[in-house]
């Protein structure tokens, strides 16, 4: 017969295991979204006629390393998302999530 304490430990272990699996799955999904966002930014940049990260960076008045980081799927501030969306004539939702109409510049 199992004691209350050992039952509680078993339940805690099972729930902790599920949480760890869920957290790992969430981290993988977020990393995938970041990669996809970076690919979208690179595609939009090229489709808009900016042949390099440097040219887009100049248009946005940011360092070219920032654009390179965005295209690599690294973080981008809300302010920069909006500036990027305005410059590329797309919605911020399209940049962040790929949602909404596909911009005309992407064919």
Distance CA 34, CA 6 (A): 42
Q: Directed axis angle between helix 78-88 and helix 4-47, to 10°?
A: 30
- pLDDT band per the 50, 70, 90 thresholds, residue 11: low
Q: For a pLDDT cut of 90, what percent of the chain falls above it?
A: 64
Q: Are 37 and 96 in contact (CB under 8 A)?
A: yes
CA distances from 82 to 22, 33, 36, 73, 104 (A): 31, 18, 18, 17, 18
Is 20's pLDDT higher than 80? no
**pLDDT digits over 25-64, tens only?**
888 999 999 999 999 999 999 999 999 999 999 999 999 9
């Amino acid at each position: 017969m199992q004691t209350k304490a050992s039952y509680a430990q078993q339940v805690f272990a099972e729930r902790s295991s599920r949480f760890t699996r869920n957290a790992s799955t969430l981290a993988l999904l977020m990393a995938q979204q970041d990669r996809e966002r970076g690919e979208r930014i690179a595609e939009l940049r090229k489709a808009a006629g900016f042949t390099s990260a440097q040219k887009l960076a100049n248009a946005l008045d940011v360092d070219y390393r920032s654009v390179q980081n965005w295209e690599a799927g690294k973080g981008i501030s809300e302010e920069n998302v909006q500036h990027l969306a305005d410059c590329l004539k797309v919605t911020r939702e399209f940049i962040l999530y790929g949602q909404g109409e596909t911009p005309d510049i992407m064919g």
